[in-house]
Structure 1
Amino acid sequence: WVAKHIVNTKNSGNKVVAVVSAMAGETDRLVQLALSVMDPPDEREFDVITSSGEQVSSGMVAMMVKSMGEDAVSFQGHQIRILTNKSYSKAKIVKIDDSSVKKALRKGRIVIVAGFQGVDEENNVTTLGRGGSDLTAVALASVLKADSCELYKDDVDGIYTSDPGMVSSARKLSKISYEEMLEMSSLGSKVLQARAVQFAKQFKVPLHVKPTANPGAEGTWVLEEKKAMQDMEQTSISGVTYDKNQAKITLAHVPDRPGVAAKIFNEIGENEIVVDMIVQNISTEGFTDMTFTVPKTDFKKTLALTKKLVKELGVKKIVSDNKIAKISLVGVGMKTHSGVASKMFTALADEGINIMMISTSEIKISCVIEEKYTELAVRTLHEAFGLGDKK
């Protein structure tokens, strides 16, 4: 259906640039292939291997389009100069040279671009992280000043108030703001890559999330807040998300003096580890306890780094826990609705769920809980805030 939809879109009077991902399961296969040779793998060569799935897809789709009588051309990241920094496996886009794409479009061609990949200044192949094809599509839509960017997903038909696989009453949203979608993506929702949403927000690219199997479906629009809130009932909460890829580390008896926290988090940051929530206890006799969370995938690496700092900083002990989850409420309505936090905490307490850490922003509240209570917490909050399908 992919090639057919691309051709139909062109025949409707549109100039079409299609960004493609690897075929289902292909990236995972390539990852395992690389790991079978070297574990941990060489970062540069790992990106060369894992980016090849999109190269195959782009060529295949271009040939399918041609077989239907339309002119098409495929481009890899290096061919349209998607320039990135040097962070292998999570590279950031610096610049895109759109001249080749525009030239092909002027000739009436359909352009097929391999997503997920780019090159650094030394022409080393880089990849943009999981979901990186979303980022490629949004970045191209931005530089080409496209009317919108359609993102087709195999497993969902839009953005829901929560994970439909966990909450049977989860409701599909017709619109959601960039801010809400960014929080949901950052907090555990896997539908869109958070960096792609951030890029769309920054350059005001309207996103339309649709199911792969049904291109004509309503889907969900991701828009500026003002547009997203039009014709919608002003509710306090738009969604409940969860993230099990969390680990918690506590440094006990840390000297409470200037520069200690900076030393700890500089060391972690220099190793490309993202710290999420941070809680510091009240100082007692010149010492304090410091707790923070990191992705579970970086847990062992972070633990090793902090253990190195124990003697240097005089930390008494390290306590860690990688069986936690982060549960979050997201909604721009929090700006104008009071009592959201108390309602959330009460609902969790009524189910006997203990809250270990709390983090808030203008449009979200997150709690760290024991991982085993994830499903119960999500369902409880979804029901407590009346987010379910009312049909």
Structure 2
Amino acid sequence: MSLVVQKFGGSSVASVERIKNVARRVKAEKDNGNRVVVVVSAMGDTTDEILNLAKQIGPLLSEREIDMLLATGEQQSAALLALTLNNMGCKAVSLTGWQAGIYTDTLHTKARISKIHPDRIWKELREGNVVVVAGFQGMTGDGDITTLGRGGSDTTAVALAAVLKADICDIYTDVDGVYTADPRVVPNAKKLSWISYDEMLELASLGAVVMQPRAVEFAKLHGVRVQVRSSFNGGNGTTIMEGREMENGRIVTGVAHDLNVAKLALFDVPDVPGMAKTIFKALAQQGINVDMIIQSATRDERNDISFTITRDDLARALPVVEKVAGEIGANGFTYGEDVAKVSIVGAGMQSNPGVAASMFEALADEGINIQMISTSEIKVSCIIDADSVEKAVNALHAKFRLHEIEE
């Protein structure tokens, strides 16, 4: 008897009819003799609708109360799915994140899972129930409800799969796997039958919205075998696994792009120790993640520091940067939202020189200017003008002949 964790995203449970479709899939897994834990997101656009309600209240929105509010969306989905399963003759019980034993740190709206005590889940499984857990949520040690940030239900599912030692964690969504690029941008993008943890983590971090990066981190850390599948067909999807399990002949596996990017720059920062620490510590204290960082060459004992963050964090970052600029004696700062990030990812890049040069050549051939560059062993990212993204992604996909990858 296998233990299977299944996660269904918002589009998969967007209506009662879709919830019934999910219930049939869950029941089929149970009828195959498996123990099943299901994690669900809020229905459709429920999270956005709830947030819009809150914004009508006024400008002062406590993040603690926002978490109290947002957590209701996943609870609704979990209860509706459990009701549906019971009506189909499949015993099921729904649990909130805290009933499932999920504990987090105290960072509201972006909490991280600190520990899981799955005693209640094991009890329900022993009694023959399908356990339906509300994703995206947990509880602090003081008993406050927290949420895990956008895509947090993925993290809930993978974390539960890890602690329960599940045989597989199936992530069901509205696409049938991981593609070499967003098929809405590149019509001839190919679905991948497998991808390594490292490659998936890079793609997820760089804008591919198939899985949340933290969920992939959890999977890699605990060796959870993950499969990304469609809720709407019976295909096998894409398996995410340890790279050494596979013979990898690929150089570049995929192209990712991200429009949720903002660029900031501080001018004439004194070239003395501690400046970078002061800037980025202030941002970190506000829970703002910094991505790419570039420091210009020193001139007259001063330099410029440019960096990127998510566009979602820009409003919170601006007063922090303005304050820090004054404290360190910088000559002002600027920012822009009309940029995007385009990236290539592939484990084969480690042993194949010239990949970055080929990327820059493809962009240059399209007349696309590169503003910033960041690299790791298996990825190269460039900041470009936002209105050039589609042209850039298609050019890179063609340059590395990703349409010829065998599924």
TM-score (norm 1): 0.97
2:109 partner amino acid:
S
Q: SS at 1:245's partner residue?
A: coil
Q: 1:326-365 maps to which residues of 2 (within 5 A)?
A: 326-365=341-380
| CA–CA separation in structure 2 for the residues paired with 1:367 and 1:343 | 13
Deviation of 1:389 after TM superposition, in Å, equals 5.0
Aligned counterpart for 2:184 among listed residues 165, 168, 177? 165
Q: SS at 2:229's partner residue?
A: strand
Aligned counterpart for 1:3 among listed residues 23, 27, 30? 23
Q: 1:255-294 maps to which residues of 2 (within 5 A)?
A: 255-294=270-309
- Residue 98 (structure 2) pairs with residue 83 (structure 1): no
Aligned partner of 1:120 in structure 2 is 140
Aligned partner of 1:58 in structure 2 is 78
| CA–CA separation in structure 1 for the residues paired with 2:193 and 2:165 | 24
Deviation of 1:109 after TM superposition, in Å, equals 1.2
Deviation of 1:390 after TM superposition, in Å, equals 6.9
Cα pair 1:354 1:369 within 8 Å, conserved: yes
Structure 2's unaligned 5+ residue stretches are 1-20
| CA–CA separation in structure 1 for the residues paired with 2:60 and 2:384 | 31
Cα pair 1:170 1:389 within 8 Å, conserved: no
Aligned partner of 2:4 in structure 1 is none
1:150 partner amino acid:
D
| CA–CA separation in structure 1 for the residues paired with 2:127 and 2:229 | 29
| CA–CA separation in structure 2 for the residues paired with 1:126 and 1:368 | 33
Cα pair 2:267 2:332 within 8 Å, conserved: yes
Aligned partner of 2:317 in structure 1 is 302
Deviation of 1:40 after TM superposition, in Å, equals 4.6
- 1:129-170 alpha-carbon deviations (Å, 9 max, x no partner): 11111111101101100001001002x110000000000010
- 1:71-118 alpha-carbon deviations (Å, 9 max, x no partner): 111111111221000111111001111111111111111111111110
Deviation of 1:301 after TM superposition, in Å, equals 2.2
1:133 partner amino acid:
S
Deviation of 1:300 after TM superposition, in Å, equals 2.6
- Residue 44 (structure 2) pairs with residue 24 (structure 1): yes
Cα pair 2:252 2:349 within 8 Å, conserved: yes
| CA–CA separation in structure 2 for the residues paired with 1:176 and 1:390 | 12
| CA–CA separation in structure 2 for the residues paired with 1:8 and 1:40 | 47
Aligned partner of 2:155 in structure 1 is 135
- Residue 197 (structure 2) pairs with residue 182 (structure 1): no
- 1:219-276 alpha-carbon deviations (Å, 9 max, x no partner): 000111112x33x5x1210000011111111111110001111111111111111010
| CA–CA separation in structure 2 for the residues paired with 1:250 and 1:17 | 47
Aligned partner of 1:373 in structure 2 is 388
1:181 partner amino acid:
M
Cα pair 2:373 2:380 within 8 Å, conserved: yes
Deviation of 1:69 after TM superposition, in Å, equals 1.2
- Residue 123 (structure 2) pairs with residue 108 (structure 1): no
TM-score (norm 2): 0.93
| CA–CA separation in structure 1 for the residues paired with 2:272 and 2:121 | 55
- 1:262-303 alpha-carbon deviations (Å, 9 max, x no partner): 111111111111010111111112111111111111123222
2:341 partner amino acid:
K
- Residue 224 (structure 2) pairs with residue 205 (structure 1): yes
Q: SS at 1:341's partner residue?
A: helix
| CA–CA separation in structure 2 for the residues paired with 1:312 and 1:24 | 45
Deviation of 1:336 after TM superposition, in Å, equals 1.4
| CA–CA separation in structure 1 for the residues paired with 2:116 and 2:50 | 26
Aligned partner of 2:399 in structure 1 is 384
Cα pair 1:169 1:389 within 8 Å, conserved: no
* Corresponding residue pairs, total: 386
| CA–CA separation in structure 1 for the residues paired with 2:348 and 2:191 | 18
| CA–CA separation in structure 2 for the residues paired with 1:6 and 1:374 | 39
2:351 partner amino acid:
T
Aligned partner of 2:255 in structure 1 is 240
Deviation of 1:33 after TM superposition, in Å, equals 1.2
Structure 1's unaligned 5+ residue stretches are none
| CA–CA separation in structure 2 for the residues paired with 1:68 and 1:302 | 50
2:59 partner amino acid:
D
Structure 1 residues 40 and 361: CA distance shift in structure 2, 3 A: farther
1:112 partner amino acid:
V
Identity among equivalent pairs (%): 46
| CA–CA separation in structure 1 for the residues paired with 2:141 and 2:34 | 33
Aligned partner of 1:44 in structure 2 is 64
| CA–CA separation in structure 2 for the residues paired with 1:80 and 1:17 | 11
Runs of 4+ in 1 over 3 A off after TM superposition: none
| CA–CA separation in structure 1 for the residues paired with 2:316 and 2:45 | 27
